Chains A and B, each alone.
Chain A
Amino acid sequence: MPARSEIEIEALPEEVWDALVDGERREDWLQEPDREVHIEIVEAPSRLVWWWGGEDEPATRVEFEIVAAPPGARVIVTESEPAAFPLSTLAASFTPAAAAGGCARARSFALVTA
């Protein structure tokens, strides 16, 4: 039972994408300075997935889909229900060792300070 929200934006998907992945621009609209964002999947300009959570909060997974919807773009965001473990546990599973273990998604892991 994920939470879901969407919006139409009068701009190209590429322009929306820039505002999602550029750290400084993201801060402007996200306004969540206390949450750490861990990018998991980057498929420009149509799909971005991150995990995030506060210090003592269980992590949740946020997925953005950007679809061309002339004359602009539609952005659909889905946030997964909280997993039963905190972000620190999750981050530990994204170590290089885990990536070497053959998890394709783990290889695309990058730490981004929100």
Chain B
Amino acid sequence: MSDELGAVFAALADPTRRSMIEALLRDGTTSVPRLSADLPITRQAVAKHLAALDHAGLVERAPADGREVRYRLRGGALVPASDWIARTQAAWGGRLARLKDTVEGGAGSSD
């Protein structure tokens, strides 16, 4: 598990940033003015959250279109996070099966 993955989850832990990701999934690209119109926070706060998402590798600047700086999701950015969830759930499936054996008295040690 890399620090990079930790940074992705830390970025996603914030509800405001999650709604930004949702907006990007819905609209493809977005901008600071657009997000601050949609969310109950200031432009400065929007810019700060976007910087956090950028830092975690989740968003990037889209090619310029006029004066406005636009952002989009970085391709594949969420894959490591969903991989972690799948791997972790599979690991717990195995551990809980062994716990069940232990508790129900399946005496034979399962090494």
Q: CB within 8 Å of B: which residues of A?
A: 1-11, 15-16, 19-20, 25, 28-31, 54, 57-58, 60, 75, 77, 79, 81-85
Contact = CB atoms under 8 A, between A and B. Distances in A.
B99 A7 contact: yes
A36 to B, nearest CB: 14
A82 to B, nearest CB: 5
B12 A31 contact: no
B97 A28 contact: no
Please indicate which of the listed interface residues B9, B10, B12, B98 has the most CB atoms of chain A within 10 Å of its own CB.
B9
Interface stretch (B28-36, B57-65, B80-88): B80-88
6 contacts: A1-B12, A5-B93, A11-B104, A79-B88, A84-B3, A84-B10
A75 B96 contact: yes
B109 A28 contact: yes
Nearest to A57: B1
B7 interface: yes
A60 B109 CA distance: 28
B92 A81 contact: no
